[in-house]
Amino acid sequence: MDPAPDRQLVTQLLQQWGGGNKQALEQLMPLVYDQLRKLASNCLRSERPDHTLRATALVHEAYLRLVDADVKWQDRVHFYAVSARILRRILVDHAKSRKRQKRGGEFQQVTFEEAVVVGPETDRGIVELDEALQRLALQDQRKSELVELLFFGGLTYDEAAAALNISATTVHRELTLAKAWLQLELSRAAS
């Protein structure tokens, strides 16, 4: 099947769903499920083997939150951008929950690249990255959203550019600046 009609259909269904058509949601989910599953898998790809969240569970939790989201859907890129934010929130909430369950817990220095990968030892890293992204958003909302779209949402540079209404060149430049800022911020937090 040609992806262009699929993209148009997803946008149409999102707009119908936003307009109150519940049947549109039923038609939409099979079309977006595989991409949501890929996003969730990307988020979890470097997790430890005994991690309690699996991609399917992450997608189902995101689905529940998406159904309750009060969003005026613009198009499929907007949908995946919101989905990325929800996936990030679920992972951060999960990491915070695990952190609360552990006793004590000393800080460990984690580089930006390690925090983005969310590896086996980085439950704390995802929390620190989320906090750093929140501080970045206070200074530059667009850079924070860009990191979220690319690393949590799995969007391409072109899709992120479209979602933020900027050029791919601007995406590259702002991502470079955002990564440098976040690395500095994460190293300060670990000190």
Per-residue confidence (pLDDT) for residue 7, from 0 to 100: 80
Q: How far apart are CA 26 and CA 24, in angstroms?
A: 5
Residue 118 has pLDDT above 70, yes or no: no
- Give 54-77 pLDDT, tens digit per residue: 888 888 888 888 888 888 888 888
Residue 30, CB-side half-sphere exposure with 13 Å CA sphere: 4
Nearest 5°: CA angle at 119, between 151 and 98?
A: 105
Q: How confident is the model at residue 131 (pLDDT cuts 50, 70, 90)?
A: confident
Q: Which of 15-19, 169-173, 174-178, 186-190 has the lowest mean pLDDT?
A: 186-190
Q: How far apart are CA 86 and CA 140, in angstroms?
A: 20
